[in-house]
Amino acid sequence: MATSFPTNQAIVVGGGLGGMSAANTVVENGGRVVLLDKSSFCGGNSTKATSGINGAGTKTQKAKGIPDNADIFTQDTLKGGAKKPELAKLLCVNSASDVDWLVEKFNLDLSLLARLGGHSQPRTHRGKERFPGMTITYALIQMLEKVAEKTDLARIVTKAKVVKLIQEGKACVGCVYEKGGQNFQEFGPVILASGGFGADFTSNSLLAQYRPDLLHLPTTNGEHCTGDGIKMGEAIGAKSIDLEWVQAIPGLYAAGEVAGGVHGNNRLGGNSLLDCVVFGRVAGKAAAKYMLGADMKDVDLKDVTGGGLTGAVESSKLAGGSYEDKMNTATAGAAGAPAGGGGGGGYSMEEVAKHTSKSDCWVVVSGQVLDVTSFLSEHPGGELAILTFAGKDATEEFNMIHPPDVIGKYAPDSVIGMIGGGGGGGAVAGGGGGGAVAGGIPMEEVAKHSSKTDCWVVVSGQVLDVTSFLGDHPGGELAILTFAGKDATEEFNMIHPPDVIGKYAPDAVIGVVGSGAPAGAVATGAKAGGAPARKDLGGKLANHHAWGHLDGDLQPNWRVDLEDNPGALLINVKSYFNATWFLLLSVLYEVCATIFTAKNIKISNDRLGLTRSAILLILFIVIHAVGNLHVFKGPDDFNGYGYFYVRLYWTGFGLPANIVEEYILLSVLLHVFVGLKRTWDMKLALVNTQGINVLNLAISGLMLLTFMTIHLFQFRFGDTDQFGPYYVRPPPYLINFWGILSLNLFWTQDSSIEPVGVRDIYALEFQIFKNPLWSLFYIFSVGVFMVHACLGWKKVTPVLGIPRGHIQKVEMIGYAIMIVMGLVYISFPLYVMATKPFSGYEDSIQIPGRVE
């Protein structure tokens, strides 16, 4: 195992904005730093941020006369749902100096300001770039690259996965990382900036443990977001409560998503980038102070790099590798000169179109032909993002999210030639222009359409009906509804490219702002040539339906009319059938795993134990409900059903209970213990994204436990001697064909079988449920059960291994089952209160039957 013992070195795990902020800050305070990132490229999720970075009291705000300060910002952040007030205050107090730091030290343009939702002042800073997160993060990467290139103060190692933290006593003194199949050690204080865990969908992931209800949802997180830093920290004793780090280990620090705890359940737009910068700098300065003490000193990044950054995107020697790999290798310049190929006339699109597989993938960007086959696995956005455009011109989509030099910097060797001897690189479609209007739509009319069921907004003079688009909006409904009936031009253009409406929602445009009447049909153009104008659809346009292209004609996007598509109902039924099949298979697997897997004795404090015990209890409740339905058939059936459990006592190891009852009791105890412990561990204040407090499960569970305890003693141990024994003829154990055919499962009319005296639970049920107070309590408890079961089912389904496409349907099927079970249980007291026992039951009846 290779070992390194540098002087005054800090280790940063993760190359996103948080890690880069920490690394640059360590250098600024006189320390050395090595940054380790398991991906091929640094940048992380921060490069995807589109809104900007918040700052209160910045020089930019003061120059524009905006009366903002840290106190106002803190109040806005706390209203937005901040988890830790002390961290929120630190975030806001440091915001001005840290935004100014980005402008002054990294030559960034953050001169544009916007007021996003939840903010009382315009404080979200950005430049003219479409993706400010990418611009800011790349600037910090380039600065650290320059430091590494010109000095020995920094090293950057990519494709380096940290697998273990090294501890001496109670202090963290380094880490072990794996690169190229070998393990290496680095020593120094460790800053964990490895991101969150939103891309780990495995059954034992942190997401499965803490938020299983989100497992079925897609994520914008990169594939690197698997919670490695959190897991390693916990492995050496660092505490995580609601995944909020408590710094209790000397030499271990956290920044970015790993730190957690500041945002709560409703983060304000623009705070994510700020979080990375502020807490990255806090962690970097703390680590430098820890290792240097009085030897800390101020170091100007511009001085050590020979002038710092110019403000333009620069190329460097780091192209998806590390300085250890490439310090002596010169890479291509920003232009990425083509490496021959294609002959004098270049490549034709017909030739490019032949290379469309994972093993042979070409794309065209700005006239250049790229062979990206070997680059697929290293692409930060995943392989699919490239394969979608295999054999095609990806210029428009590529330029929307990449800086102009990214090919020359990170993949210069992929350029194999040009299209048609150097011709253009594919036409970029213009924005969805307006259409013909008849006088325009006044803002007074737009203002009338401000609800979730009828939502219009104005963007750049165009009036958009976005009612049907709300559920599809990547940023959620609220981001649009905030501007319902209003002009959202400024905020929209801050975070969207100019052609996004024409490309993704051209048919949302219903006219332009003016003084006349609303326009009828509007022709909009998403791509060259424009989209066809809407047809005359028999007045449907007036109802604000959602329209999209389907087989060349215009059809409703999600309101599928059965007369136009008669197979839609069949497809829908088939999808629910498939979902039901997956549900049954998953439940069967979990029940078998619960009964037969020896390792279950080790999972009593794990989510798996909670999930499996819940499934077993749900299965029992369903079977028990079906059994209780025998009360409607009369005393023979119901008392025979009760005696069925007694006949199984031989399976209970000599105890007055059968093995089913014993296993159910153990499941209840396991479920209650694990549920309460996990609720405590996750803290009492945790609120999930649906606004439902997780305490609902704990409180409703305890109520159910109380009810079930009373109910069990009533029917399992209740006094039936007052009624005397009830005699039934029990059917044969195994061969009871006639009973099954006649639905007499628990008794028989065969006179050759000797009657057996059993507990008269039928009479007991009538005695108990004739009490209206107990019946009301029972009905209330069943209602609590339905709430508890539905909330629990939502958490269980994502971890059952069901294909993602079926999870929502499985959830709906589960809800339906819970509701039906609740109605079945409620029917028992209602039936008893509304009726009397079967005729003649109160009088003496002949054997078989009750004997006075």
Work out the number of other CB atoms within 10 angstroms of the CB of residue 321. Answer: 20
Please tell me which of 255-259, 317-321, 432-436, 756-760 the model is most confident about, judged by mean pLDDT: 756-760
* Res 429 pLDDT > 50: no
- Whole-angstrom Cα distance, residue 338 to residue 415? 5
- Whole-angstrom Cα distance, residue 98 to residue 260? 19
Average pLDDT over residues 81-103: 83
DSSP character at residue 455: E
pLDDT band at 110 (very low <50, low <70, confident <90, very high): very high
Q: Are 832 and 770 in contact (CB under 8 A)?
A: yes
Find where tokens 């993002």 sit: 385
The pLDDT tens digits for 590-625 are 777 666 554 444 444 456 667 777 887 888 888 888
Catalogue all structural domains in the chain, each as residue range(s) with its CATH number.
9-52+70-93+130-305 (3.50.50.60), 332-418 (3.10.120.10), 443-556 (3.10.120.10), 602-834 (1.20.1300)
Q: Give the containing element (helix H, strand E) for 133.
A: helix 132-150
User: What ranges make up the beta strands (E) of 273-331?
Assistant: none
Within 8 A by CB and 6+ apart from 607, the residues are: 208, 209, 212, 674, 678, 799
* Res 685 pLDDT > 70: no
Pairing of strands 9-13, 32-36: parallel
pLDDT band at 767 (very low <50, low <70, confident <90, very high): confident
Work out the number of other CB atoms within 10 angstroms of the CB of residue 7. Answer: 9
Q: Are 195 and 229 in contact (CB under 8 A)?
A: yes
Task: Work out the percent of the chain whose per-residue pLDDT is above 90.
Answer: 16
- Whole-angstrom Cα distance, residue 45 to residue 223? 10
Q: What is the predicted pLDDT for the residue at 246?
A: 35
**What is the distance between the terminal CA atoms of the chain, rounded to a whole angstrom?**
86
Q: What is the predicted pLDDT for the residue at 572?
A: 61
* Res 534 pLDDT > 70: no
Average pLDDT over residues 458-485: 80
Q: What is the predicted pLDDT for the residue at 837?
A: 59
Here the tokens at position 251 are 């030499």
- Whole-angstrom Cα distance, residue 93 to residue 73? 9
Q: DSSP states of 626-658 as a string?
A: HHHGGGGG-HHHHHHHHHHHHHTGGGSTTSSS-
Find where tokens 């995107």 sit: 313
Residue-averaged pLDDT of the chain: 72
Give which of 299, 341, 3, 312 is closest to 142, Cα–Cα: 312
Q: Which of 413-417, 682-686, 702-706, 831-835 has the lowest mean pLDDT?
A: 682-686
pLDDT band at 63 (very low <50, low <70, confident <90, very high): very high
Pairing of strands 244-246, 252-254: unpaired
Would you say the C-alpha torsion 464, 469, 475, 476 has a positive or negative sign?
positive
Q: What is the predicted pLDDT for the residue at 417?
A: 81
- Whole-angstrom Cα distance, residue 639 to residue 731? 13
Q: What is the predicted pLDDT for the residue at 60?
A: 93
Give which of 225, 227, 228, 230 is closest to 254, Cα–Cα: 230
pLDDT band at 68 (very low <50, low <70, confident <90, very high): very high
pLDDT band at 103 (very low <50, low <70, confident <90, very high): very high
- Whole-angstrom Cα distance, residue 419 to residue 406? 19
pLDDT band at 503 (very low <50, low <70, confident <90, very high): low
pLDDT band at 626 (very low <50, low <70, confident <90, very high): confident
The pLDDT tens digits for 392-404 are 988 887 877 676 6
Q: CA-based diameter of the chain, in Å?
A: 109
Q: What is the predicted pLDDT for the residue at 117?
A: 76
Please tell me which of 117-131, 410-424, 599-613, 721-735 the model is most confident about, judged by mean pLDDT: 117-131
Q: Are 11 and 174 in contact (CB under 8 A)?
A: yes
Work out the number of other CB atoms within 10 angstroms of the CB of residue 580. Answer: 14
Q: What is the predicted pLDDT for the residue at 310?
A: 58
* Res 154 pLDDT > 90: yes
Q: Which of 222-236, 708-722, 809-823 has the lowest mean pLDDT?
A: 222-236
Residue type, 39: S
Average pLDDT over residues 581-585: 83
Here the tokens at position 424 are 């253009």
DSSP character at residue 345: T
Residues in the chain: 852
User: Pick the residue with more confidence: 249 or 4?
Assistant: 249
- Whole-angstrom Cα distance, residue 561 to residue 563? 6
Average pLDDT over residues 74-97: 79
pTM summary value: 0.44
Q: Which of 257-266, 528-537, 713-722 has the lowest mean pLDDT?
A: 528-537
Average pLDDT over residues 177-186: 89
Q: What is the predicted pLDDT for the residue at 694?
A: 54
User: Pick the residue with more confidence: 194 or 739?
Assistant: 194
The pLDDT tens digits for 772-809 are 898 999 999 999 989 988 888 877 776 677 776 677 78
- Whole-angstrom Cα distance, residue 141 to residue 410? 13
Q: Give the containing element (helix H, strand E) for 772.
A: helix 772-796
Q: What is the predicted pLDDT for the residue at 316?
A: 38
- Whole-angstrom Cα distance, residue 671 to residue 547? 48
* H helices present in 293-390, as ranges: 301-305, 323-326, 349-352, 383-387
DSSP character at residue 481: H
Work out the number of other CB atoms within 10 angstroms of the CB of residue 515. Answer: 10
* Res 28 pLDDT > 90: yes
The pLDDT tens digits for 325-370 are 443 333 333 333 333 333 345 788 889 999 999 889 999 987 788 9
Q: Are 268 and 55 in contact (CB under 8 A)?
A: no
Work out the number of other CB atoms within 10 angstroms of the CB of residue 298. Answer: 7
Q: Which of 571-585, 686-700, 719-733 has the lowest mean pLDDT?
A: 686-700
Q: What is the predicted pLDDT for the residue at 691?
A: 38
Side-chain-side CA neighbours of 758 within 13 Å: the count stands at: 31
Q: Are 430 and 499 in contact (CB under 8 A)?
A: yes
The pLDDT tens digits for 654-677 are 666 667 777 777 778 878 877 777
User: Pick the residue with more confidence: 407 or 109?
Assistant: 109
Here the tokens at position 847 are 């054997």
Average pLDDT over residues 27-36: 94
* Res 168 pLDDT > 60: yes
Edge-to-edge order in the sheet of strand 509-512: 450-451, 454-459, 462-465, 509-512
Q: Are 116 and 33 in contact (CB under 8 A)?
A: no
Find where tokens 């590529």 sit: 398
